[in-house]
Amino acid sequence: MILDWVFIIAGLATLIAGAEALVRGASGIALLAKLTPAVVGLTVVAVGTSMPELVVSAKASLSGNAGLAMGNAVGSSILNIGLVLGITSLIRPLRIRGNTMRFEWPVLLLATLVFVLLVRDRILDRVEGGFLFTAMLVFMFYSVWLNRQGVVSKQLKSPSTASFGRGGAAAMILNLLAIIIGSALLSLGANFLVRGAVSIAVSLGISQTIIGLTIVAIGTSAPELLTAAVAALRGRGDMAVGNIIGSNIFNIMAILGISSILRPMAVPRELLQRDLWWLTGITVLMFPLMLTRRRVARLEGLILSAVFVSYVLILVMGA
C-alpha cells in the first residue's frame, strides 16, 4: 500500500513537470509556425496529453479487455469536460474563440454522435475504426489549414518570446524537444498514477468496470488537467479549451479507432445504456455554457464539476 502511494505522488510530480514543458514548447511552436495557441492545443497538445489514454486502451484492446479500453476512452472524455474544463475555469475564467463555437465544438458533437451510431450494434470493427481514425487525420490537417488562412502577422509576438530566447532552427528544435520531453513525462506520470490508484482500488474490492471508467480515466486524463491548468495560469485559456476539445475528439476518433483496428471490440451493454448518454449530454451542455458571454466562468465551472461528481456517484452506487 505504501509503494502504491509512492507511485501516486511520483506520478503527480512527473505530470506537473511534463505539463509545464509541453505548454512552453507548444506555445513556441505556435509562434514559430504562425499558428494560434488554440489550434496547437487542439492538435499537438491534445495528441501529447492523450498518449496515456492511447497506450492504456490499445493494450487493453490487444489483451481482449474491450470494456476497459472503451471505458477508459469514454470515461476520460466525460472527465475532460466535467472535471478538467470545470476545474480549469475555476482557476481562471476561460475566453472562448468564435472558431471554437463555429467549428471545433460541432466537430466534437458530430464525432460523439457518429460513434454512438456505430456502436449501436454493440461492436466496433476494423472498418469502423479505420473510418474514425481517417476522419481524425482529416480534421487535424483541416484545422491547421483553416488556422493558417486566418492568422495575420500582427496577431503574433516575436518568436523569441516563447522559444527559450532563441530564433530560427534552434528555437524550433528546442520547442520540439520540450514537446517530446513533456509528452513523455506526461505518459510516464500517468502510468505511475494509474498503477498506484488501480492497485489501491483492487485492494479495496472495486470492480474493473468502475476502475476503467473512473480511476484509470482520471489517471490517464491527469495530463489534460495539468496541461490545461498550466495553460490557464499562463493566460493561454484558448490553448486550454483547445486541448480539452481536441483530446475528446482524439479519444473518440483516434484512440477508439486505433484500438478497434488492432482488435474489433465488443461494446459493454452498460456503456450503451448509461455512459454514452452521459458523454453525449455533457458534450451538448458545453455549448450553452460557452455561449454565455463567450467564456466559461467560475459558476459554469462549478456546474460542470457538479455534473461529473454526480456521474461518479451514480457509477459507485450502481456498482
Q: Is the pLDDT of residue 20 over 80?
A: no
Q: Is the pLDDT of residue 286 over 70?
A: yes
In the chain the first and final C-alpha atoms are separated, in Å, by 23
Q: Which of 22-36, 52-66, 280-294 has the highest mean pLDDT?
A: 280-294
User: 58: buried, middle or exposed (CB in 10 Å: 19+, 13-18, 0-12)?
Assistant: middle
Q: What angle do CA 17, 199, 77 make, to 5 degrees?
A: 60
pLDDT in tens, 98-143: 678 888 899 999 999 999 999 999 999 999 999 999 999 999 888 8
- Contact, 74 vs 279, CB < 8 A? yes
Rg over alpha carbons for the chain, rounded to the nearest Å, is: 19
Instruction: Determine the pLDDT at residue 150.
Output: 60
Cα(59)–Cα(233) distance, integer angstroms: 34
What pairs with residue 94 in β-bridges?
Answer: 296
Confidence band, pLDDT 50/70/90 cuts, at residue 290: confident
Q: Where are the beta strands (DSSP E) in the chain?
A: 94-95, 123-124, 265-266, 295-296
Q: Is the pLDDT of residue 172 over 60?
A: yes
Q: Which domain holds residue 18?
A: 2-152+159-318
Q: How many CB atoms lie within 10 A of CB 152?
A: 7
Cell of 183: 509528452
Instruction: Determine the pLDDT at residue 109.
Output: 96
pLDDT in tens, 42-60: 777 787 777 777 877 887 7
Q: Is the pLDDT of residue 317 over 50?
A: yes
Write down the mean pLDDT value for the chain: 82
Close Cβ partners of 246 (under 8 Å, ≥ 6 residues apart) = 41, 42, 43, 45, 46, 47, 104
Helix (H, G, I), strand (E, B) or coil at 190: helix
Phi, psi of 265, deg, nearest 5: -115, 130
Q: Which of 213, 219, 193 is nearest to 78 (CA)?
A: 213
CATH number of the structural domain spanning residue 26: 1.20.1420.30
If one compares 270 and 110, the residue with the highest pLDDT of the two is: 110
Close Cβ partners of 126 (under 8 Å, ≥ 6 residues apart) = 260, 261, 264
Confidence band, pLDDT 50/70/90 cuts, at residue 319: low
Mean pLDDT of 12-40: 76
What are the start-end ranges of the H helices in the chain?
A: 2-32, 37-40, 46-49, 51-62, 66-79, 86-91, 98-99, 105-118, 126-150, 168-203, 208-210, 216-233, 237-249, 256-262, 269-270, 276-291, 298-318
Confidence band, pLDDT 50/70/90 cuts, at residue 154: very low
Q: Is the pLDDT of residue 157 over 50?
A: no
Strands 295-296 and 94-95 come out as: antiparallel
268 DSSP 8-state letter: P
Distance of CA 202 to the CA centre of its chain: 25
Confidence band, pLDDT 50/70/90 cuts, at residue 11: confident
Instruction: Determine the pLDDT at residue 72.
Output: 82
Instruction: Determine the pLDDT at residue 152.
Output: 40
Instruction: Determine the pLDDT at residue 155.
Output: 44
Helix (H, G, I), strand (E, B) or coil at 296: strand
What are the start-end ranges of the H helices in 86-166?
A: 86-91, 98-99, 105-118, 126-150
pLDDT in tens, 246-269: 889 999 999 999 999 999 999 988
Helix (H, G, I), strand (E, B) or coil at 242: helix
Q: Is the pLDDT of residue 159 over 60?
A: no
Mean pLDDT of 214-228: 77
Q: Where are the beta strands (DSSP E) in 169-239?
A: none
Instruction: Determine the pLDDT at residue 209.
Output: 61
Q: Structural domain tally of the chain?
A: 1
Instruction: Determine the pLDDT at residue 278.
Output: 95
Cα(52)–Cα(219) distance, integer angstroms: 9
